[in-house]
Amino acid sequence: MNEFFSLALEQFYQTTWLEAFAVFFGLLSVWYSKQENILVYPTGIVSVLIYVYLCFEYKLYADMGINAYYFIMSVYGWYNWVNTKDDSRAQIPVSWNSRSENHLSILFLVCSFLLIRWVLISYTDSDVPNWDATTTSFALVGMWLMAKKKVENWIAWIITDIISVPLYLYKGLPFTAIQFLIFTGLAFWGYFAWKKSYEKND
């Protein structure tokens, strides 16, 4: 136990301000998402661009790719949220997946996991291919569903966040691990907030 706390303290001392900056904007982005505030996207873009660089430095190649994907989906989500044909609404409403959309989400999850795992094992020096592919595939689905403003996005994020906490501790990124721990709580909060928003507008 003493060795664990000593290692954690050493990692905190080695944490860069760049990581702390990325964590701050990442947390801000999730908070805005829970509030259904469009600022989720500009704040998120700042965070993900920093993480593209950090993940490359720490050989988390799948996570580097996911952050590049986050950037693309943030641009799309920003457009999609405000692209409403109803002049009385500032944004599209929260909704649930249909059965076919759930099937598509599961297919997306399985295919992305298998593809990412194969790429990591075959073409990179990643020492955590299964771990990295799991968090990445769930996050891919989560971001896609968030851009569509689906309640199920929070379920994908909850799973992603829980698995990511030990991964980032293992990789020596303690601030990021704490960020994902906080993300887990915010994701639960976001799920119930969006569920309530759907029921209110239904």
Tens digit of pLDDT per residue, the chain (202 long)?
A: 555 555 555 555 555 778 888 888 988 998 899 888 999 999 999 998 888 888 887 777 767 877 888 899 999 999 999 887 766 677 888 999 999 999 999 999 999 999 999 998 998 888 888 998 999 899 999 999 999 999 999 999 999 999 999 988 888 877 778 878 988 999 999 999 999 999 887 6
Asked whether 174 and 127 are in contact (CB, 8 A), the reply is no
**Tokens 């379920």 appear where?**
155
List, in sequence order, every residue forming a beta bridge with 95; answer none if it has no partner.
Answer: 150
Q: Dig out the tokens for 201 from the structure.
A: 């507008």
State how far the alpha carbon of 97 is from the alpha carbons of 103, 144, 145, 150, in Å. 9, 12, 9, 6
Asked whether 61 and 118 are in contact (CB, 8 A), the reply is no
| The pTM of the whole model exceeds 0.75 | yes
